[in-house]
Amino acid sequence: MERSKPMYGNGGTDGRVAIAVDFGGTNIKLGLVRQGQVVSRASLPSYSDQGLIGRLPAVEREIGRLLAERRLRPSDCAGLGIATPGMVDAEKGTILSINEKYADAVGFSFRDWARGAFDLRCVLENDARAALLGEIAYGAAVGETDAVLLTFGTGIGTAAVMNGRIVRGRHAQAGILGGHFATDIRGNACNCGNTGCLEAQAGHWALPALAKRHPGFAGSSLSRHGSLGYREIIEAAGSGDRVGAELLETLVAHWSAGIVNMIHAYDPETVVLSGGLMKSQAVLVPMLQEKVRQRSWTPWGEVKIVVSRDPDASVLWGLASLLNPK
C-alpha cells in the first residue's frame, strides 16, 4: 500500500536516528526511530516517588545501552525527543504544569540536560500531541490535515491538528484539555479544579467511585474485583451483569459526548482513539460511532473514527517527526 506523504517531517529520511522518550504515568518508554520505524524499544518503571528528575540518570543509561546495541554514537542521531503529560511549552522546551507525580520537572531545562548528557538538541511535547503527530506521520491518520486524538488511559488525553498544524495556543494548553471539558455540570470534582469533567466522570481513575455509587453495586459481580477499571466494567456488561451494563451505557454516553465536544471544537475529518480502553475496540467503537453520528453537527459529512494500531509507537513516531521537520 502506498503511503501519502507525512506532513510533519518524515522521522528521518536522512537515515539519522531520533531518540525518543515518553514519560508515562506507569512506565517510561524509550525508542530509537529511523525513517518511521521504531528500531529499538525499552521500558523503565516510572517510580513515582523519584519524580521525573530522579529518573533521568536511569534514562541516560538506557539510551546509552540502546545506542550501543545498534553501534551508534549520540553524534549519529538527529536529536532527542521527550513527551510528558501536562502543559508543555514546546518553544522553550519546558514543562509549565503537570500532575503531582512529575511536579519536580516544572521549569526544568530538558535542552540543557540533553546537551550535557549527549550533546544533542532536544524537543519537548505533550504526550497526546506527540501521539497525534505520530498517527499522522506513520499511524492510523497518515496524511490528515485536520484530526483530533483522544487517548483513554488513567486520565483522558487529547490533541488537535487543524489546517495541517498542531494546535498549541497562546498558553500551550489548546487542544490538550478535551478530558476536562465538562460532560456533567452536576458531576464529580475533578483534580483540575473543574466539576464534571469527562475524565472525572468516565476516566479510568474515576471508575471505582462511579461503580460503588450504583445502588446495585453490592449485588453485582463488580463488587468481587479488587480493582475496577475499563476492562472489568466492559467484561461485566458483556457477561450479562445488569449493573455493569448500566455503567457501560453511562460511560459510552460520556465518552461519545467527549468525542463530539472535540469534533465541535476543532472541526476534524478524523478522530483517532487510543489508550488502554481500545483493547475493547471491537465492542466499543460501533457503540461510539453510532452515538457520535447521532449527536455531532457536521453538515459536510461524517467524521471518520479510527483506532491507533500501536499507541506506544505513535508517541515515539511523533517525537521523531518533530526532530525531522520537512
Binding site for Zn ion (CB under 5 A): 180, 190, 192, 194, 197
Nearer to Zn ion, 28 or 202 (CB): 202
Q: For the chain, what is the radius of gyration of the CA atoms?
A: 20
Give min distance, CB of 88 to Zn ion, in A.
18
Q: Counting Cβ atoms within 10 Å, is residue 44 exposed (0-12), middle (13-18) or buried (19+)?
A: middle
Nearer to Zn ion, 156 or 172 (CB): 156
Contact by Cβ (8 Å): 7, 317: no
Nearer to Zn ion, 176 or 305 (CB): 176
Nearer to Zn ion, 190 or 303 (CB): 190
Q: Grid coordinates in use for 133?
A: 503527530
Q: How far apart are CA 197 and CA 177, in angstroms?
A: 10
Give min distance, CB of 260 to Zn ion, in A.
18
Give min distance, CB of 223 to Zn ion, in A.
28
Contact by Cβ (8 Å): 118, 81: no
Give min distance, CB of 259 to Zn ion, in A.
17
Contact by Cβ (8 Å): 59, 30: yes
Nearer to Zn ion, 17 or 159 (CB): 159
Give min distance, CB of 157 to Zn ion, in A.
12
Nearer to Zn ion, 194 or 221 (CB): 194
Q: How far apart are CA 326 and CA 323, in angstroms?
A: 10
Give min distance, CB of 207 to Zn ion, in A.
15
Q: Would you tell me how many other CB atoms lie within 10 Å of the CB of residue 227?
A: 8
Q: Is 54 helix (H, G, I), strand (E, B) or coil?
A: helix
**Segment holding 318, helix H or strand E:** helix 311-323
